[in-house]
Amino acid sequence: MALLVVALVALAACAKQVVTDQLSPTDSFAPTVGLVEPLACVDTTCPAPFTSCPGVPGVCTTNLDSDISNCGACGAACPESTSLNGTFVCSGGKCKLGCQAFYADCNNLVADGCETETYEDDNNCGGCGVVCPSDKPCWRGACGCPNGLTRCGNDCKNLQSDQLNCGACGEICKEPASAADPRWKCGPSVTPPNTTWTCGNGECTLNCKPQFGDCNKNFCGDGCEIDFRNDPNNCGSCGNACGPGQACEGGRCLCPSGTTRCGDECVDIKSDPGHCGFCYSRCPGPSRARPGRPVTGGPSCEDGVCKYVCKPGYADCDGQVSNGCEVDLSTDQANCGACGTACRAGEGQPCVGGKCLTKACEPPRAPR
């Protein structure tokens, strides 16, 4: 009796908060996520760090740990700043200064923001307090040059390909001053068409200009005779021919406006029955004659949707695309002129030219 009284008191305490009809009976061990235990009281307290802030829609929708307008407490907005090489963020309920790439707040003073540039600062290389050795100055936030690059002044250069530092720092790749220079491979001071001096493998030599090619292997004759930007037979490189209907634009084989590239073809996916709606989507239905069955229609693509179009005088009366337009409307007694228009076949009435054959009725006999 005492236990019953305690239960009734607890039930009264919950009052209207008791939920007793949302837990479905089950014989399994499946989790009851989202269901309320019988006799459990409804809790209206927001779990940390969520809360309900004035002016914010919903209940428990504000995260005080990360909301920049309500950081740590409702209405506690972080400062707005775009001139300190960074912006404020809310993290852990506190406003913190988030620095832009290659900037840092090394003096921990919010007033001057992210005051330190870490891109090439030898004392703060990539981060506060990172000091580079004297022989490895800071470059792009790291001490020393990466493998394959050499320090030239305040920068790291690739001596194998840099036009201004070809083979050595400060060595500019340009036309030799002397006609006797052995690098004139086509003769003293001979510069074939569409050629220029470029740095490769650390050497300055005469080569094709960018976007041009020597496809006929006659460099000293006609130079780099092919313009890869617009040659449909050598588009982007020697021997790369564009497909039917394609044009070479900017070194790429492109299809005309309104068409789509499907393999080596330019097709209109709105009207091509072999590529209807998208590439290689072939419309169903017979399109070629077979023994004893002439071609009476064919697949059609209209605005990207497959259809089957019958030739004049034929119809698809059974709705089966597999057998095409199976009915000859000019002779079919069951479908004479149109699907479902039947002649009186039992009385021998034929279908001729799409019409059930008729004749004038005999006049009625006069009564005797």
* Per-residue pLDDT reduced to its tens digit, 143-200: 999 999 999 988 899 999 999 999 999 999 999 999 999 999 999 999 999 999 999 9
- Say what the pLDDT of residue 291 is: 65
**Has residue 280 been placed in a domain?**
no
Is 50 exceeded by the pLDDT of residue 127?
yes
Structural domain ending residue among the three candidates 79, 100, 121? 100
Structure tokens at 314: 């034929």
**Has residue 194 been placed in a domain?**
no
Length of the chain: 368
**Has residue 95 been placed in a domain?**
yes
- Say what the pLDDT of residue 321 is: 82
Tell me 44's DSSP state.
-
C-alpha dihedral, 108 to 114 to 119 to 125, nearest 10°: 0
Residue 253 DSSP SS3: strand
What domain range includes position 351? Answer: 297-356
Residues 295-300, mean pLDDT to the nearest whole number: 85
Structural domain ending residue among the three candidates 61, 81, 100? 100
Please write the tens of the pLDDT for every residue from 50-64.
999 999 999 999 999
Give the integer Cα–Cα distance in Å for 35 and 14: 17
- Say what the pLDDT of residue 347 is: 87
- Say what the pLDDT of residue 82 is: 62
**Has residue 87 been placed in a domain?**
yes
Please write the tens of the pLDDT for every residue from 185-199.
999 999 999 999 999
Give the integer Cα–Cα distance in Å for 191 and 202: 21
Structural domain ending residue among the three candidates 71, 100, 129? 100
**Cβ-Cβ contacts under 8 Å for 360 (sequence gap 6 or more):** none
What's this model's pTM, rounded to 2 decimal places?
A: 0.50
Please write the tens of the pLDDT for every residue from 46-95.
999 999 999 999 999 999 999 999 999 999 998 876 668 888 889 999 98
Give the integer Cα–Cα distance in Å for 304 and 258: 13
Structure tokens at 323: 């057998």
Tell me 345's DSSP state.
G
pLDDT band at 292 (very low <50, low <70, confident <90, very high): low
The more confidently predicted of residues 16 and 222 is 222
Is 60 exceeded by the pLDDT of residue 20?
no
**Has residue 309 been placed in a domain?**
yes
**Has residue 93 been placed in a domain?**
yes
Give how many domains the chain has, as a whole number. Answer: 2
**Has residue 325 been placed in a domain?**
yes
Please write the tens of the pLDDT for every residue from 29-42.
344 444 555 567 88
**Has residue 61 been placed in a domain?**
yes
**Cβ-Cβ contacts under 8 Å for 344 (sequence gap 6 or more):** 356
